[in-house]
């Protein structure tokens, strides 16, 4: 896990943030990243259809399976990374950083 994420999670716990507040903040972060992905998809559509005058013909099953697999992998790694930090006492975990 990144040191910045661990420090932020532990600092929030030490300052009175609950586990659900920390997880909500992380979920918001991943939601913003998903928004950036949607913005990139929109930009790709614009370039392909408006600038190059090509047809927009993505292979949707492949695109959706790739996005879904990536989302599940990211979610699994996020949970696996977050739970040990959230379960630790703040002082003990900060000493290990």
User: Please, what is the angle between helix 60-87 and helix 3-14, to 10°?
Assistant: 50
Residues 6+ apart with CB under 8 A from 10: 85, 88, 90, 93, 94, 97
Which tokens belong to 96? 């290990």
Q: Residue 1 has what pLDDT?
A: 47
* pLDDT > 60? residue 3: no
User: What pTM was computed for the model?
Assistant: 0.58
Cα–Cα dist 57/63, whole Å: 11
Length in residues, the chain: 97
Q: What was the pLDDT predicted at 33?
A: 86
- The distance from CA 4 to its chain's CA centroid, rounded to whole angstroms, is 14
Tell me: the pLDDT tens digits for 6-44? 555 555 544 567 778 877 888 888 888 888 988 998 999
């Amino acid at each position: 896990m990144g040191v910045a994420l661990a420090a932020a999670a532990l600092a929030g716990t030490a300052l009175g943030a609950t586990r659900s507040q920390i997880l909500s903040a992380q979920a918001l972060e991943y939601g913003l990243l998903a928004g950036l992905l949607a913005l990139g998809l929109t930009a790709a559509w614009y370039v392909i259809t408006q600038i190059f005058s090509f047809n927009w013909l993505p292979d949707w099953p492949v695109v959706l399976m790739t996005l879904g697999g990536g989302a599940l992998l990211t979610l699994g790694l996020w949970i696996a990374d977050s739970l040990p930090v959230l379960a630790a006492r703040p002082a003990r975990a900060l000493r290990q950083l």
